[in-house]
Amino acid sequence: MMNLSSAFATDSPAPSFTQGPAKITNEGIFDCGLRARISKMGTITAQDGSEWVVPGENHFDSAPKAADLYNECNGNTHPSLEEVDLASVPVFDAGGEEEFVMYLFADNYFELYVNGTLLAVDPVPFTPFNSNVVRFKASRPLTVAIKMIDWEENLGLGSEHNRGADYHPGDGGLVAHIQDAKGETVALTDSSWKAQTFYIAPLQVRNCLMVSGQTRDSSRCAVTSVRNGSEFSAAHWAIPPQWMSADFDDSIWPNATTFTNRAVGVDNKRAYTNFSNIFDTQDADAQFIWSSNLILDNVVLLRKTIK
């Protein structure tokens, strides 16, 4: 076993480590059919006795679902933004009178909070890939907080069946564009957002992970696919209970890392390419963001305050 004192600074919250697969508690919170990956959930107990929900605790069953830009499961495969009836999209109340619209493409699952209020969640937790639009009223400054979960098939092991391997580590990513009622850009996803990691897997060896202060760096960890990763480990951190609130201090969190469209792999995803005029324009080019490791970091909290 690794020497934790040499790998983690004394002022750092040390992770709880689990090893091996989780126990399945739900065979699928959502299933879109044969072309989709089933969104299973489970629990796993760490060596310190703590219990963790994988791939992450969520409000999918209880929260409103975001409206569709592109969603094969609902049959809403709009070819462009011009074909989307924004007037039919419900307006959520985040406390205020100014109206905003937010466009999102998430890999895989998001939960959107504004000024501490949970507005909507992703209607497709895993695949097929989809994109969404959320309208809301709020007062500035806006605190936009998003919980991201990169879903997994091998619960507790941060991996899926892909590319000929039974244990292939998937990747994440979020791109978003917020506009006001006049269609003017209010915010884009970029490196000014804050991003903190709370679940990292798979870890082929634990001592690849470096933690110092609020930095949880998995860049030295292997991202290779394997035939059998059933004994790999995972690192977990507790999520602060008020992380989504406007008065939560995120100043010590790392800034988000940006990734190219190619790195995220969206150039062949119609849920993204059909809406390049909102996500990928010269004057308002939203960037894909995540924590520093797009592949191994599986639960990431994102925050941005907009004045």
Structure tokens at 155: 């619960």
Please determine, for residue 12, whether its predicted confidence score (pLDDT) is greater than 80: no
- Inside any domain, residue 219: no
Q: Of all helices (H) and strands (E), which one includes residue 216? A: strand 215-217
Mean of all residue pLDDT scores within the chain? 95
Question: Is residue 253 classed as helix, strand or coil in its secondary structure?
Answer: coil
Interval 188-209 mean pLDDT = 98
Q: What is the pLDDT of residue 195?
A: 98
Please determine, for residue 6, whether its predicted confidence score (pLDDT) is greater than 90: no
Q: How sure is the predictor about 35, in pLDDT bands with cuts at 50, 70 and 90? A: confident
Q: What is the pLDDT of residue 31?
A: 87
- Inside any domain, residue 217: no
The CA-based angle 28-243-290, given to 5 degrees, is 65
The CA-based angle 36-38-39, given to 5 degrees, is 125
Q: Distance between CA atoms of 160 and 21, rounded to whole angstroms? A: 12
**Total residues belonging to the chain:** 307
- Inside any domain, residue 65: yes
Peptide bond between residue 125 and the one before it cis (omega within 30 degrees of 0): no
Interval 130-153 mean pLDDT = 98
Number of domains in the chain: 1
Q: What is the pLDDT of residue 9?
A: 45
Please determine, for residue 215, whether its predicted confidence score (pLDDT) is greater than 80: yes
Q: What is the pLDDT of residue 8?
A: 55
Q: Residue 60 sits in which domain range?
A: 20-200+240-306
Q: How sure is the predictor about 5, in pLDDT bands with cuts at 50, 70 and 90? A: very low
- Inside any domain, residue 282: yes
pLDDT, one tens digit per residue, over 54-86 is 999 999 999 999 999 999 999 999 999 999 999
- Inside any domain, residue 212: no
DSSP secondary structure string, 44-107? EE-TTS-EEEES----TTTSPBPEEEEETTTTEE-SSGGGS-GGGS-EEESSSSEEEEEEEEEE
- Inside any domain, residue 232: no
Q: Distance between CA atoms of 31 and 43, rounded to whole angstroms? A: 20
Q: Give the 3-state secondary structure of 155-202.
A: CCCCEEEECCEEEECCCCEEEEEEEECCCCEEEECCCCCEEEEEEEEE
Q: How sure is the predictor about 10, in pLDDT bands with cuts at 50, 70 and 90? A: very low
Query: Across-strand partners of 200?
Result: 235, 297
Interval 282-306 mean pLDDT = 97
